[in-house]
Amino acid sequence: MNALEQQLDYPFFDDLPATGGTIEVAPGVRWLRMVLPFQLNHINLWLLRDEDGADGPVQGWTVVDCGIADDTTRAAWEQVFANELGGLPVLRVIVTHMHPDHIGLAHWLTEHWGVRLWISATDYHTARLASSSTTGFGGEATARFMASHGLTDPDSQAKIKARTNYYANMVPQVPPNYRRLMDGDALTINGRRWQCHAGYGHAPEHMSLHCAQLNTLISGDMVLPRISTNVSVHETEPEANPLQLYLDSIQRMKTLPADTLVLPSHGRPFKGMHTRVDQLVAHHAERLADVMKACSDAPQCAAALLMILFRRQLDLHQTTFAMGESVAHLHVLWLDGQLVRRLDADGIYRFSPA
């Protein structure tokens, strides 16, 4: 545990749910943990005891987030169905946002149980687009965008161009219809009110869920206890300012009680959300200061800033995410008027003080 983590409270200590098993973290709220084939090797999913039905109450469960579409995750869900649901059905599937580890198995789960997907409209349609194209995740367009920000070495370019099915491999299908979640919406789940809190920057329209009665927040990827959330600029919106959107979003989460139990998508459930938001804001302020200093010493492109921002060697998977974050940090300062951007003769954007 690092020094920042020690400032947080982990009420379940080192307990982790076994694959296909659950741990109850609040009344009627169960924690699942599924394997991911990345350096970030797990995702937390949630089961909420539920009661629903247009023609009278039906006992069952709400699923929050799904895992990626692979045989390992399906097998883990089958164990959950057999051992953790008490013979009750899944009544609905909520997805916080469109990234593959969250929506990947949504089609399979909703089809298996004959239920509806609940998600924001922006993330639903973005997922539909990404599952049928290479938008934002690889291929020629991504390679050109990365090259325009300095990632021009032939090996990286060739690998990015070849990665044409990155999203679709983990999200082969998206449910054909959905129920829309919007900021401020309140869902009644097992007689308790869960309010939607929209967040921006990490995903187009991320939905976290807060239950005041349980003093519990399903934060998705907006607030994580150990790592900072990826916030990237993609070629589909090349002048975006997602980092500022993200920082504004997490500051709004400080309107929730400081002792809220936070259920994150990665890492362990914790208390100390206000402290963690302050840590994340301070982290990005330090990185923005590093970027500003580097650009003051000499004009910089995003690729040249990778070692300054991340301070370690990165593989290609990590580099593509890191490039998006590097551009995002430059854009905060550029769109705030502190930096100016120019397109040099080599076709690369470089930034220098205004």
Q: What is the DSSP string of 151-218?
A: ---HHHHHHHHH--SHHHHH-S---S-EEEE-TT-EEEETTEEEEEEEE-SSSTTEEEEEETTTTEEE
Q: Does residue 122 form part of some domain?
A: yes
Q: Does residue 208 form part of some domain?
A: yes
pLDDT band, residue 53 (cuts 50/70/90):
low
Average pLDDT over residues 203-211: 98
Q: Does residue 341 form part of some domain?
A: no
Q: What is the pLDDT of residue 311?
A: 80
**Angstrom distance (rounded) from CA 149 to CA 77:** 41
Q: Which helix (H) or strand (E) holds 243?
A: helix 242-252
Share of the chain above pLDDT 90, in %: 87
What amino acid occupies position 37?
A: P
Q: What is the pLDDT of residue 183?
A: 98
Q: Does residue 296 form part of some domain?
A: no
Q: Which residue has the higher pLDDT, 320 or 105?
A: 105
Between the alpha carbon of residue 78 and those of residues 21, 75, 172, the distances in Å are: 11, 5, 19
What is this structure's pTM? 0.95
CATH code for position 41: 3.60.15.10
**Angstrom distance (rounded) from CA 99 to CA 83:** 27
Q: Does residue 228 form part of some domain?
A: yes
99: how many CB neighbours lie within 10 A of its CB?
26
Between the alpha carbon of residue 7 and those of residues 11, 213, 273, the distances in Å are: 13, 25, 10
Average pLDDT over residues 334-343: 98
Q: Which residues span the domain enclosing 198? A: 5-235+253-272
pLDDT band, residue 47 (cuts 50/70/90):
very high
**What integer best gives the mean pLDDT of the chain?**
94
Q: Please list, in sequence order, all residues whose beta carbon lies within 8 angstroms of the beta carbon of residue 158, skipping any fewer than 6 positions away.
A: none
pLDDT score of 98 more than 80? yes
Q: What is the pLDDT of residue 40?
A: 87
Q: Does residue 286 form part of some domain?
A: no
**Angstrom distance (rounded) from CA 310 to CA 332:** 17
**Angstrom distance (rounded) from CA 276 to CA 224:** 8
* Structural domain total, the chain: 1
Q: What is the pLDDT of residue 134?
A: 57
- Helix, strand, or coil here: 8? coil
Helices (H) and strands (E) in the chain, counts: 11, 15
Q: Does residue 241 form part of some domain?
A: no
Q: Does residue 75 form part of some domain?
A: yes
Q: What is the pLDDT of residue 271?
A: 98
**Residue pair 24/48 in contact by the 8 Å Cβ criterion:** no
Q: Which residue has the higher pLDDT, 321 or 55?
A: 321
User: At how many degrees (to 10) do helices 242-252 and 273-297 cross?
Assistant: 160
